[in-house]
Structure 1
């Protein structure tokens, strides 16, 4: 009983850290509000989500090296401190340069957190419980993701006028949660085992991209994150363009996406016990492919919402399936493979930039076309998954 209570006491602060990990997804709805406030084009506004995920390319592998020096818990605490700083800046305004710095720090903090929090969790739970705990962590993370548009919408329409913050009230609310996470995790004792063998180098990690299946997995992660960030950012714009909705009303589309993505994360743990990874992956990709076709065709609010929900559910379990496939392909190189897969989150930089250019040229259908390319790649990847 004492062991269970002790494990729970260590698990709860880490689940709050997973919630803080979800703060990164506020960039989608926030970029739409910044676009409206500053009269930006789609290309200019999409720099914000692109900038957030750019830092995964730079920081994922070095973070693994940092963990070898200072430990996993201290690395997670550092990530929370950087996240706190990113959330503090918008309290002072929403100028273009200020928001660029804020979103950069948000991306750096999240890169540190994504790389270090999962390994830290393995110090508290192990074996079969680790997989379920990681899945539950993703579920908790998704809660923060779909709450962000609601909080921003509340701030834009209902918040106390004297605060003078509007939608930016989202930042201090999440900032307070980050502070609680720092204090709670900081006072929690967690024993970390020392890594065996020589730490991986940056070159050794990148060299694994020479393995064909690892490269396919890396590109798959890039497409998954590109579709995720792309839908998060573009869904409200589609409703505004086709139905003339206000941003406050259209912001529900982002929440809808994350509601179904959260449900997908929760259900995926049970579905994968009944279906093979390849079968479930195929169903997930089919959901997204149908949705992309629908977003080209439909102009009715209900059908657009159905398409967004299908993307949310379909994209919810793509990451864990690809990640596990990569680890199974090279079990002797788990650290290097893990670093590469986290680096693949850089797809969140490439897709929004391409989508911004395409939507400026031909409207939001151009952005949908870019995401469709990612879905088609995932269909190709499915054929390479072992039965």
Structure 2
């Protein structure tokens, strides 16, 4: 699932290689969220027809194809095609993989398992820029690959994953009754499902929003250049990854509701710090608290939705993954707010999302 995060690193290298403008280069990451909106719900229906394991295998095959395209052409159009297929494959994968896990794990342990999956996913986010830089500056230029060795490494892992999963026997539940897209969307009329959907939108919006805004806050308040302020994004990822790792164990010992509440409160305190503090240490502290708190929001909300409607796991998964489109909505709203009031406006938009998550905490159900 984490392979999709290479788009941020790769788009910078593509922009440099092809001499693209910022607007042209920014089209690459925007494609990711677009395909989540389009493919998430249909994937839920596809799982009903061919099963969860086959759907996951299909998603990895599509991802592998996307990673091989740059070797046949590295122009603007081939790269757009590559990143589009990467987004499509990831949308299908995130929709189908989580329900497949429910065939192995259930109850409160599900949230813990999904959290550990997010930790493993974060490894790809960390490794992408490291592998690309290694390829661009050391051994790999000799072979004419340069930074594109990143695609080689991830393509090999894809092929290995296809082989291992295909050879692993998994007893799936009987496929859910076939549903139409309209019937899937109508599940949002169930109040608790809608609450889960909105919580995932808030989680992703805060995630993308913090990554985008954190360096700007430091530049605005402290006056540091972007090269130094950019370290704030690293702080966020470090603590988000740590939160996923520790959350996998914490969730095995305490109620998801309690841990979710602690996480939401931690994020709220972090937002207050960003609102009020003007020192670099305090700002880093606020960013770290948001990163750690936001690390476990997705698995808890996702598992809550799956456990609430066990007879509609495939459709529910599609709806929840569609909520990742929040990563497009929040930054747009934050941009308009920041234009009017500075970065405090962007923080205010994210804080509204945190307030909603505090409210959602009260609605979380505990397993019997």
TM range (shorter): 0.7 to 0.9
Change (3 A) 1:128 1:356: closer
Aligned partners of 2:112 and 2:252 also within 8 Å: no
Partner residue in 2 for 1:6: none
- The structural deviation recorded for 1:184 is 2.9
Deviations 1:90-147 (A, max 9, x none): 5577765544433322211111111222233344566777665444323222222232
Give the stretch that moved more between structures: 317-326 or 143-152: 143-152
Matches within 5 A, 1:1-387: 21-31=1-11, 40-41=21-22, 47-90=27-70, 97-123=77-103, 132-155=112-135, 160-162=140-142, 167-186=147-166, 188-193=167-172, 195=174, 198-235=177-214, 242-246=223-227, 253-296=232-275, 301-355=280-334, 367-386=346-365
- The structural deviation recorded for 1:239 is 5.8
Name the CA distance, whole Å, in 2 between partners of 1:206 and 1:56.
15
Aligned partners of 2:107 and 2:307 also within 8 Å: no
Name the CA distance, whole Å, in 2 between partners of 1:149 and 1:367.
27
TM-score by length of 2: 0.80
Name the CA distance, whole Å, in 2 between partners of 1:26 and 1:183.
23
Aligned partners of 2:119 and 2:245 also within 8 Å: yes
Name the CA distance, whole Å, in 2 between partners of 1:303 and 1:168.
38
Name the CA distance, whole Å, in 2 between partners of 1:145 and 1:221.
20
Structure 1 unaligned regions, length at least 5 = 1-20
Aligned partners of 1:50 and 1:352 also within 8 Å: no
Q: How many residues align?
A: 363
TM-score by length of 1: 0.77
Change (3 A) 1:325 1:160: closer
Structure 2 unaligned regions, length at least 5 = none
SS of equivalent residue, structure 1 residue 140: helix
Aligned partners of 1:224 and 1:318 also within 8 Å: yes
Aligned partners of 1:150 and 1:255 also within 8 Å: no
Deviations 1:326-381 (A, max 9, x none): 34444454443333212212212323444455667777655544433322322332
Change (3 A) 1:196 1:205: same
Aligned partners of 2:264 and 2:357 also within 8 Å: yes
Name the CA distance, whole Å, in 1 between partners of 2:193 and 2:165.
34
